[in-house]
Amino acid sequence: MIELHSSPTPNGQKVMIMLEETGIEWKHIDVDINVGEQFQPEHLKLNPNNKIPAIVDTDGPGGSPYTMMESCAILVYLAEKTGRFLPVDARKRYGTLQWLFFQVAHIGPMFGQANHFNRQARDNQYARDRYNNESLRLYRVLENRLGESAWLGCDEYSIADIATYPWCKGHTERGVDKTAFPNFMRWFTAMEDRPAVQRNNEMTAEIRTRMEKAAKDKPVINMYDTRDNAERLVRATSRKP
Ligand SMILES: N[C@@H](CCC(=O)N[C@@H](CS)C(=O)NCC(=O)O)C(=O)O
């Protein structure tokens, strides 16, 4: 059984899609980052970087429980555990790993910064231009890749597609449409046709509603305000005496 300690953000959703695709037994343990549950000592034991997602495989390597952080490392782990979505053929495997690393190194950080400055710090025009331009450039990289390959990593659906899809849900906001990005839109539609992706999207809405209800009487933290967060961040990463 895989316990997924998470919130349904893009990094959380990629693990949910993988779990649904593989059919492995799993459950979601809600960690609400809006009320600071990522800073709880029990979560820090699973993810010392005070982020979601983390997993516990109750039947890990050698038959004992195994804990992991970092969503793309978790995807590789689950792919190897189940023998799905990370091809064995060397060219396909390295193609998949390249595009998986491309997601974690570029798409996640740049789209994340663009979302932050578009939503939380709108008055910083320099930062908005920088991250919006970079995000659009990355959409063009995806468009070009998908013009030469059916799926991102190779000619098979893989963890590279699973990792990238949840980050691309806001494509309309960026002016990415069928006319200018036909290959990307073909891929995005193929992703949304998959039953596992559809289940992820339903669960994402359900988990968000459940978390909002549970958070009703809890104080909301401002994780984007580094002054408000300063003490919490230092405490989370300070070694105990
Ligand atoms: N590289 C990490 C990124 C994880 C990450 O940034 N998680 C965000 C949500 S998508 C988070 O937990 N934020 C809470 C915080 O920064 O306090 C991964 O892929 O797992």
Confidence band for 224, pLDDT divided at 50, 70 and 90: confident
pLDDT of residue 240: 61
> Is the distance from the beta carbon of residue 31 to the nearest atom of ligand 1 less than 6 Å?
no
Sign, CA dihedral 94-100-101-102, equals positive
Average pLDDT over residues 191-210: 98
Confidence band for 219, pLDDT divided at 50, 70 and 90: confident
Query: Residues spanned by CATH 3.40.30.10 within the chain?
Result: 2-84+196-237
Domain 2-84+196-237 sits in CATH 3.40.50.300: no
Q: Nearest CA to 207 among 13, 2, 3?
A: 13
CATH number of 90-193: 1.20.1050.10
How remote is the CA of residue 228 from the centroid of ligand 1, in Å? 18
Our mutation pick for probing the ligand 1 site, out of 4, 52, 159, 235, counting the most ligand atoms within 8 A of Cβ, is 52
CB contact at 8 A, 101 and 76: no
Q: How far apart are CA 197 and CA 14, in angstroms?
A: 9
Average pLDDT over residues 159-169: 98
pLDDT surpasses 60 at 241: no
Query: Residues spanned by CATH 1.20.1050.10 within the chain?
Result: 90-193
Average pLDDT over residues 168-186: 94
How remote is the CA of residue 33 from the centroid of ligand 1, in Å? 9
Average pLDDT over residues 229-239: 78
